[in-house]
Structures are given as structure tokens and as C-alpha cells.
Structure 1
């Protein structure tokens, strides 16, 4: 199996290098409106945003920032196949503008914007961000009524383009090989994720993640497994340090990333250097966790009913029997006029 991974240097508001209906899944985390670290970026996109902030009009700045993101969502609608999925990681913002403190509900605005473009919202996920802060309050501290709860979660908003799910040819091997384990299904398809610093994590150092606003590796990896199959292409229009592309590589999917900052391509090249060991590590941990699950079930007097065809363990459902994880065998890199391209070859992940 081969996958290709393109990184395009450019503006996500115009994805001219990506064909109509050529992407099956979008996984991205945009700049969050009304988070101060993104003020300058939004003001460069539209000077009226900077003026609104200077004049203390937080609501106007919020709306104008989302208008800029809306131009990206127009492109997402164009490049996604019918039935394709868009997973948007976004957090709300708390901020005082002109001495007026409030929450700016980015998740609600993004949901409304996708609905207006014909997407159907599906159940979303809350994931809890790790925090080292001992301060759990804002406002007046221990005095009612003017303290405020802290925001310690972000949203993964899930949308489907159109009313119909994607169709597949009957018995398509790529769909059954890309199955996930029954116990993974129970853990992943819940609306609250508290374990994103868990066993499959392959984060850069925390300082790098804070500077780039990157999400944890396991978030896009899970979403690739949940909402795409082998042979699909995953798009991240706010590419950053390339965490979505790394996750797609490890998951055996192709990818396209779009990034304004050309300097981040060299950061990604350093990360790709370890993708072979990353993919093997992630895959083997999934297999090991399933073996632990089987042992626990047997210890409780139960045993999964079906034999896996590619591995030496049983599985719980018929849909898992052909499940097959892939390793990264080789990586080739090429520089293109628009950015960079990687071609990976994948081999079935062995038992060892």
C-alpha cells in the first residue's frame, strides 16, 4: 500500500491546488477567534478586526474573525466528497474587551456556519486539556456571585457533508481492513475524552505544542481511524506543525496540509524522520491493548467469539475479523514548487 502526503504553502481561504470532491475527511484546528495570540493574524486578514478590537467592540471583532474562517469552510465544502466528514477542533474564548468580560462561543458559531453550508452536525466530542495550573477560578475568587468557571475542555465538532453517508462497494476489503477493535469503538465513540495523554501519545515537547497550538497526536489519529478508511485522503487546512499529516501517515491514509508559514515545513521534516518507528509503536500498542482486553475477558469467564484472520487473537465481532494494521516501510520526500510531497509505502504490521 502507498500513501501520498502533500504540504502546500498557501492561504486556506483559497485551496486552488485541491480538486473538487477529492478529500474524504477534514481534521483541523483553526485559529480560535478572540484568543489574543491570534489577534495579529486575524487583523492581517482583515484590518477591520484590529479596528474593532481597538474600539472595544468585541462582538464585531468576533463576527469578523469568523467571517474569515467562513471562507475556509467554503473551500472545505467544495473539496469534500458527498458524505465526507469534517472534524473541527475548536475552543471557546473568555476575554475582557472594553472592561466587559464574557465567553465567546466559537463552537456555536462554527456549528452554525457549517449548517448554513449544508452540513449535518453529528454528535460532538469534548476533550479535556491537561492543565498544570492550581488556580481553578477567575473573577472574585471565593466571593459570590462574580467568579467564573475555567474552560478546561475543547470541542471536536463533527459534520457530514450532505444527508447521506458515503457508500462503498459490497464487502470492500479496505473498509474491513480499516476496522477498529470493539473495545476501541466503545472508548473512541463517546462524547467525553479524558485520556488524550494516554498510551498512543507521540507529542512533541509541550513548549512546541504551545507555540504552534498543535493538538495532541492521538486526537487526529483517532479521527482518521473513526471517519476514514485505507485509500482515503485527509485534509488539514490549518496544518501548523503537521500533526494531522503524521497521524494520517501512521494510520495509513493519504493527506494534504495547507500552511501559511513555510518555515514549519522544516520542523515537519524533522518529525517525519521518526515516522517509521512512530507508526510501528502506535500499531503495536493497539495490538497489545487488544491482547490485554482479551486476557481480561477470558479471566472473567468470557472470550471473544471470532478469530482474527491476520493476527493470533480472537475478536468480538465479525466486522473485526479482517482488521489489519499497517507499518511504514519507506519514506520518500520531494520538494515541489508549491511545497513538499512525501510518498510512503506501507506493509502489514507483523505480530512481533
Structure 2
């Protein structure tokens, strides 16, 4: 099979009676973030103990046609620090990898290509808030790398010790500590991810990294002006260093709020990125994991509070569980392939689906 990479951020939303029981029993008395962590624990327990539950995960990825998802480590609970959540999630993924022989942790592009040719799913671990994950300690970058984390996003929405995030009201760029973090990442061969970074932090990251950098899951400001989007200036700088960009498939990042969303807007952003970066430096970062149309209504309001606590404000119009007319669940991911085949050559489609990311990853390791 060909490699199909997606920065999905999460996994398909899979539940059974045991998982639903956790939601129903704990939500009346606990915050949504705490309950979400309890649900994640139960999902892993069911993955370890119930063959039919494991099979539903595999079938979801197969239906989507994705064999190289990148998933984010972390916690929604206010009772845990971001760093604690990252390492708790590492334990969850270790349990999954130990349980299912068809699920593999992927740490190199060579491994990714081998997995893609088999009938297995290769998971590339990422963190979306490196500054909070390392808490000021440069040595923690190597600890994460040693645990298998390969994509490291410098900031989330808000400012941290490394730099300024994309929804922060300031735009301070990278700190001196942030420059040292990038130096350590370059030394290790980790991918510098600038997706949620502010404009100046993005430009600084591009300029100061010795290896090409990525914007794994974002959109184009020229098509729709949103704090999560990247300007043409940023895209041009990314192209100049032979970097990579993945386009999100989340409605409220791509277009104005509406009762329903036409999936064509996703391709508007993708084609604009291609016009600047070239068809060989663009891919998919759907960011369309766990919280899709099947996400429980009971948890949505509480999780909206969690999102506001990490830098999303009312003007960002975040709506959990909202999909497009033709992409409501992760299993619908195949509409991306269909749309690409209508717009690009066969070789360009292969690149956008996965080869572009793997070639970029090769360049990072060779730098």
C-alpha cells in the first residue's frame, strides 16, 4: 500500500457500553476534562481486553484509508499539568502498541514506508505544546524524543517559555530559551512544528532552525483570515527552506460560521498552499480525530470550556462535533482522496497523501 499520512491529532471516536458508562456515571459530578481523561483510560482498557473493540479501531482507520496517523499526547484535565498529561498518554499508547500487532509506533520515515507497505497502522507521536511539556528544561526535549515523540509543536495558542502562540494578543516571537530548544531538536532530528505558533514565532522558527520545519496542520490566511491560519509571508518563508505544510479539515478554521459547511473550502486552502509551496511540499493535517460528529453531546459543552482555557476565544467560533457536508466522521476521510484525484495528477496525489511528508521527514533527518 502507499503511505497515507494525516496529522489527525486524535483517533476515531470508538465507544462501547463500558465507555458510555464512564461518561454517564462521572460527568454529573466531574469536569469535562477530568471525565475525558477517564474515558481515555477506559478506551485503552477496552482496547487491551476486548478484541471487538480493537477491531473497530482498525476498521475505522481502514475505512478512512489512513495508515500513518500522527496523534497528539496530552490531557484535558485541569488536575494535571500538560507535561503530566503527555506522559500519561505515552503510557496509554504503550499499552495499545503492546496489545495489537497491527499497530506500530513509527519513529523514522524508513519505518513509515515499511509499515505502509504492510497491512499495519503506523502511529507517529506528537506534542502540540512543547514549551509546557518540558517546563523550561532543555533535557526534557531528549526525554520526549527517547519516548518516541517525533513531531514537536513549539507552542499551542498561548505564549509559553519557548515563544508566542497564534491566539495570544502579543506577537513576541521566540525566546532565547526557544532558540535553545530548536537547537536541541535539530541535534536530535525532531521535526520543528510551527502550526499553532504566532506569526513572529513562525518566522523565527523558520529562520533559526538548521533543518527544514513544518506547519503540520493549519490553513491559509489569504483564503480565510483566522488566527490559526498562516499568511503568504509565512508560506513563502516555509517554501524557501524546503519545509512542509498540512491543511486542516476543520470547518471553523477554514470559513465563516454556517449552518452547514461545503467541503470545497478545504480544497481552496490546499490549492492556495500549493500555489506558493508547490505540490511537493503540501499534505494533509486534518486535525479531525476524536471529537467528530459522534462525540457525545453530553461532553461537548464542558469541553468547550476546556478549549477556552487553552486560548480559543469567542471570536474563533470553535464548534466541537461540527463537520462538513461530506466529512462528518474520521471514517469519511476518503473524500479527501477523491477530491485530490479530481484536481491533481496521479503523482501529485501520491505526494499529497503521504510521500511529501515522508520526503520532508527525510530532509529533516539529513540536515
Settle same-fold status: TM greater than 0.5: no
- TM-score normalised by structure 2 residue count: 0.34
Name the structure where helix makes up a greater proportion of residues.
2
- TM-score normalised by structure 1 residue count: 0.35
Which structure has more RCO (C-alpha within 8 Å, separation ≥ 6)? 1
